[in-house]
Each structure stands twice: as C-alpha cells, then as structure tokens.
Amino acid sequence: MGKVLLVTGGSRGIGAAIAAAAAENGWSVVVNYRAGKADAEQVVTNIRSAGGTATCVGGDVSRECDVRAIFAHCLERHGRIDGLVNNAGILHHAGKLETFDLARWDAVFAVNVRGAFLCSREAVRLMSTRHGGSGGSIVNLSSMAAVLGGAGEFIDYAASKGAIESMTVGLAREVGAEGIRINAIRPGLITTDIHGSSGDPARAERLATTVPMGRPGSPAEVSEAVVWLLSGAASYVTGAVLAVSGGR
C-alpha cells in the first residue's frame, strides 16, 4: 500500500482530478465529499478500475466533529496519513460586496478557511515528527482571485483564498522542522462546474481572452502540479504558492 492522501471536496472537478492523478502516482486516496456521495463513489470506482486504491468518506469540513470523523476513517482504513489536499471550497453568485449579507460571508469562510484550518490541524497532529509522526505534505487550493481580488463578482471568495495563502506561509514556517511541507496552488481560470455557482457557467470560456495563453486550464493540469508538490520531487519546496493560471 502506498502513502495515504486525503483530498477534501474530492467528488468532482479539480478535487476528483487530484484524486485520480495521485492514485496513478501510487497514493492510496481517501476522497472526501459533503453532499455528492454518488460522485465520490464514482471517483473511487474509476481509481480502482485503473488499479489504484481509494475509499470515500462523507463529512462537512466546516464542522469540527465531521473533520475528526474523516481523519478517524483514514486511520481506521489505512492506519496513517501522509498527505492532505485542502480542496473543498464554495463560491456564491457573483455580486458586489455591498449586496452581501453576513450569512453569505460566514458560509464562504466556514468552508474555505475554517475547513482548511481544521483539516490542517488534524493532519499536523498526525504527521509531525514532534508528535511521533513520520512527516508529510499538505497542499492548499488557493485561487488567482486572491491576487486579483474578485471585484464585482466574489470578494468574499477572493478574501478567503487570501487567508489560505497566509496560512500556507505561516504554517510552513511553523512545522518546517517537523517533517511537514506546506504549499499552495493558485489556479486561474479552470474549466469546472464551480463557475455555475457564480451564475455564469461559461465564465472560464468567456474570460479566456484575458489569459496570456489564450485558453482556460483543465482540472488535470492543476492536478499534475498538486501531485508534484506532494511528491518527494518537491522535497525542498515549502511555503510556496504556485500559480497554475496560464500567465493570468
């Protein structure tokens, strides 16, 4: 059995692509989902059909009790955890900040930031050599929105991803001597159905002309960067935020 990787929000889009790519590279993958059980089970079936190892586990990463249960599943099924990808995230309909209510702001930060914090905390407790672990790697999913700001569309989402990048750098410095590497990927315009959540399913294609490479990216292109950061090939990389954005 290979090293064990937990991918949050792994039932579709970038998360599903990461799970598949990691399995192809020898990881035993735990696919987390919140509501898409059937999709997560299909991801697991696809991985197993290709000769990989995978299980799935439900749970809302914004809930502390759910996160503890997710990690308990990893330990029960695999006895260890070596990698974590904090991919779970939500996006609401595009709009200006003045129209947002507090419930929307809190919901975005609950999943996108609190979820990454809770999962990272549990992973560090298990991986840290200071606690008897054997080290590991965490990759956080940020967004080019953290740099561009999301004006007129989703400042709340952009702000949540800015928080992810700050946590990435801080935690990398905090646990660097404990055998754990922390990095982030900053995807640009990627063709996934998350754009439908903003009310503009064709957004990636519509904004393709703003990308120097002239096209949106694919989930597979993001997954390759994530798997590299998880791997020993990136053994001296920590605290990095890697843009996968076609130059945008």
CATH number at residue 162: 3.40.50.720
Residue pLDDT, tens place only, 130-189: 999 999 999 999 999 999 999 999 999 999 999 999 999 999 999 999 999 999 999 999
Q: What local confidence, expressed as pLDDT, does residue 203 receive?
A: 83
* pLDDT class of 195 with cuts at 50, 70, 90: low
Residues 6 or more apart in contact with residue 40 via CB below 8 angstroms: 10, 11, 31, 32, 33, 56, 58
236 in catalytic set: no
Name the catalytic one among 6, 157, 168, 230.
157
pTM of the predicted model as reported, rounded to 2 decimal places: 0.95
How many domains in the chain?
1
Cβ–Cβ under 8 Å, residues 93 and 197: yes
Helix (H) or strand (E) holding 119: helix 115-127
Q: What local confidence, expressed as pLDDT, does residue 188 receive?
A: 95
Q: Which domain holds residue 187?
A: 4-244
The pLDDT of residue 1 is above 60: no
Average pLDDT, the chain: 96
The label of the residue with tokens 């549990």 reads 122
Identity of residue 117: F
